[in-house]
Chain A
Amino acid sequence: MNILNVALKEIKSATRERRTLLFMLAFPIVLMLILGTALSNVFSGSAIVGEMQLLYKITANEPQLTQSWQSFSQEIERQGIKIIPAEAGMNGQDLVKDGQYSAYVELESDGMKFYGSSKQSIESNVLQGMLTAFADRYNLAASAIKSAPSEAKAVMESIQSNDEFVNETSLDPDKTPGAMDYYAISMTTMIALYSALSGSFLFRSERTRQTAIRLMAAPISKGELFAGKVIGCTIINLLCVSIIILVSKFAFHANWGDHMGLVFLILTAEVLLAVSLGLGVSYLVQGEKSRSVIMIFTQIASFVGGAYFPVGDSDSIMGIVMNLSPLRWANEAIMNLIYSDDVLGAWPTIGINVAIAAAFLLISALIMRKREAL
């Protein structure tokens, strides 16, 4: 009963610390909004393709080629591509260089020469792909005429009628996070890690307020006090995390996937780890120094863990440091859960967090028991 009493007092007390609450709620939400909006292009999985204009010149005097080209032209014009013949005296390469055309192609008797625009790289790549397909099929037909003239007609008809010059294949394009989706997760895991700050204050605040005297004089065991405080602190921080999730989900339409229960479990384990870490450091490092240690740790762990920008894999020392951040563990587990349905991958993260939390709680409990005061 005393555990509940202490936990409720912690929750009540924390909800009245307006400045702390404002920091825990407003800071991630505002940051999520700013970064999610400002960096939306960086995370975008689609690109806008502009008008494609292909300038061409036929210098080869081959009726088969001209006929095939016209057939090809008609087909791709139906897909919205403008095919423009180069007039006499026009320098196709210069015009592409100036950005007036997406690409320029010269059809010569010994082959096809293609000049793509670096200014319109997507458009020129699409055209290059189409022209490669055309060249492959024309070469096939030319070979057929040479080796099996009886089959040549059928091959030519096939080339002229087949309009599939580009096959569109998509690798589930919707399953990648947008900027808001990413920052909703990273800001939530970041603020979960900031629970370490309130953890470091759990007993230090009782000492500075002198209330530790009363608590020690009351008929409540150190164990009850310890459990009540850790539970209360974890609940209040989870409440903040939940509010951030709800705001990001309903106000910013961030994607939290279909495994909300498991996502919440990962975050609970992270909050527990952070609270225990803060508490442990407050016992291992005396006075105000513990606050500085926690501040430095959370800032670095947030930075390298991908709170402000996505981090990739690396074999360097930086990569090792990044992998030591609890924020990264939580981010990766949640991302994999949402975008790859990797349910099993969440459990090692939860396990590691709980194991580290247990270690810090044990250290704190042992030091607390050894001390005469709190």
Chain B
Amino acid sequence: MNVLEIRNLTKKFGDFIAVDNMSLNIREGEIFGFLGSNGAGKSTTINMISSLLRSTKGDIEVLGRNIATNGKFAKMNIGIVPQDISIYENMTSYENVSFFAGLYGLRGNLLKERTEEALDFVGLGDKAKSFPKNFSGGMKRRLNIACAIAHRPKLIIMDEPTVGIDPQSRNYILNSVRKLNEMGCTIIYTSHYMEEVEEICTRIAIVDHGKIIADGTKEQLKAIITDTKNIWIEIKATDSPSIDSLKQIQGVITAQLEDNTIKINSKGEINNLNRVIQQLIKDGIEIRSVEEQAPNLETVFLTLTGRNLRD
């Protein structure tokens, strides 16, 4: 069963097309990764699914019902964890969760029960009476999640829920995502951390210029780029290689310098490593190590979009 169906979705801001005729199905029980660099159109898509924005064209169906005509039904079944922490600092954790859950029609003992359950779920049960202004970034992020799940939504949209937090809180949140999925929630997950997406998502879509350019499991996505290889060359930190010269070498698709590592994506059938090394030596670059990388999501993304996820 499809929890979410998007058909020919388009959103224009003046002449700018943020989402361009996008179609997508998300099945029940999936943890769906939504990958795209800044401005790719993923936040606009998420905002339209959450009824924060109106579409210019196209349809969105949540649990088989069109949100244009069944807005309240869709909202009742969606929980949103916004990228920015959206809680009231002058209200306690309990009051925050209880207020938002109350907007979904929960009352009395049920409201109390679900509020406590949500706080316990994110590990803030003992902080129910505390004010978020005294919380760490990680705790605020967890409260941000609690506010989205107390009404037990079928579909949870998490927009970069791990930005700017410590590894411990990050692991806690990733485990929470898995647990929520085990409990029957379908999750749409966006992140700039490729390893997170690779770790928890069961299906991933790569968005670029408002369109989905690839969609599948991580294995399916990696299979797209078997005809290319990735060479990482670590150089002396103070050296400045000519990336343009490397790009001129036959077979090189992309080349870029990150910290003191040159990352080259090249056609698989052409053996050009020798020429790359020769070029670097000619430029007076001191090579520390050379490594051929197995394809990962980052290289998939780079190959398909020509950009890093954080560009």
Q: Enumerate chain A interface residues (CB-CB to B < 8 A).
A: 1-2, 5, 9, 12-13, 16-17, 209-220, 372-373
Provide the bound-state CA to CA distance between A1 and B99, in Å: 12
Smallest CB separation, B4 vs chain A (Å): 15
Assess the B86–A218 pair: CB atoms within 8 A.
no
Most A CB within 10 A of own CB, among B82, B86, B103: B103
Size band of the interface chain B makes with A: 20 to 34
Chain B residue with Cβ nearest A225: B103
Smallest CB separation, A210 vs chain B (Å): 4
Q: Which listed residue, B53, B82, B85, B104, touches A372 by the CB 8 Å rule?
A: B53
Map CB proximity to A onto B82-107 as digits: 1 under 8 Å, 0 otherwise.
Answer: 10111111110001000110111101
Contact A13 B84, CB 8 Å, known A2-B103, A214-B147, A219-B104: no
Contact A372 B75, CB 8 Å, known A16-B91, A211-B87, A220-B103: no
Residues on A with C-beta less than 8 A from B107 are: 1
Most B CB within 10 A of own CB, among A9, A17, A217: A217
Map CB proximity to A onto B69-90 as digits: 1 under 8 Å, 0 otherwise.
Answer: 0011001101010101111111
Q: Which listed residue, A9, A12, A213, A219, touches B86 by the CB 8 Å rule?
A: A213
Residues on B with C-beta less than 8 A from A16 are: 90-91
Provide the bound-state CA to CA distance between A252 and B52, in Å: 52
Provide the bound-state CA to CA distance between A130 and B76, in Å: 89
Residues on A with C-beta less than 8 A from B90 are: 13, 16-17
Contact A211 B88, CB 8 Å, known A217-B75, A372-B54: yes
Map CB proximity to A onto B196-231 as digits: 1 under 8 Å, 0 otherwise.
Answer: 000000000000000000000000000000000000
Residues on B with C-beta less than 8 A from A9 are: 88, 91, 99
**B51 within 8 A of partner (CB):** yes
**B260 within 8 A of partner (CB):** no
**B169 within 8 A of partner (CB):** no
Q: Enumerate chain B interface residues (CB-CB to A < 8 A).
A: 50-54, 71-72, 75-76, 78, 80, 82, 84-91, 95, 99-100, 102-105, 107, 147-148
Contact A217 B52, CB 8 Å, known A2-B103, A5-B99, A5-B102: yes
Provide the bound-state CA to CA distance between A373 and B53, in Å: 7
Residues on B with C-beta less than 8 A from A215 are: 103
Assess the B103–A210 pair: CB atoms within 8 A.
no
Q: Which listed residue, A12, A214, A219, touches B82 by the CB 8 Å rule?
A: A214
Assess the B52–A373 pair: CB atoms within 8 A.
yes
Assess the A12–B91 pair: CB atoms within 8 A.
yes
Smallest CB separation, A368 vs chain B (Å): 14
Q: Which listed residue, A13, A209, A210, A218, touches B104 by the CB 8 Å rule?
A: A218
Nearest first, the 7 A-B pairs at minimum CB distance are A210-B86, A218-B103, A210-B84, A219-B75, A16-B90, A217-B80, A213-B82
Assess the B103–A216 pair: CB atoms within 8 A.
no
14 new A-B contacts, CB < 8 A, other than A1-B107, A372-B54, are A12-B91, A13-B88, A13-B90, A209-B88, A213-B50, A213-B86, A214-B86, A214-B147, A216-B51, A216-B52, A217-B80, A218-B100, A219-B103, A220-B103
Contact A5 B103, CB 8 Å, known A12-B95, A16-B90, A372-B54: yes
Provide the bound-state CA to CA distance between A1 and B147, in Å: 19
Residues on B with C-beta less than 8 A from A219 are: 71-72, 75-76, 103-105
Provide the bound-state CA to CA distance between A361 and B80, in Å: 30
Residues on A with C-beta less than 8 A from B80 are: 213-214, 217
Most A CB within 10 A of own CB, among B72, B91, B102, B105: B102
Residues on B with C-beta less than 8 A from A209 are: 86-89
Chain B residue with Cβ nearest A212: B86
Residues on A with C-beta less than 8 A from B51 are: 216-217
Assess the B103–A13 pair: CB atoms within 8 A.
no
Residues on A with C-beta less than 8 A from B148 are: 214
Chain B residue with Cβ nearest A221: B72
Provide the bound-state CA to CA distance between A12 and B86, in Å: 18
Chain B residue with Cβ nearest A211: B86
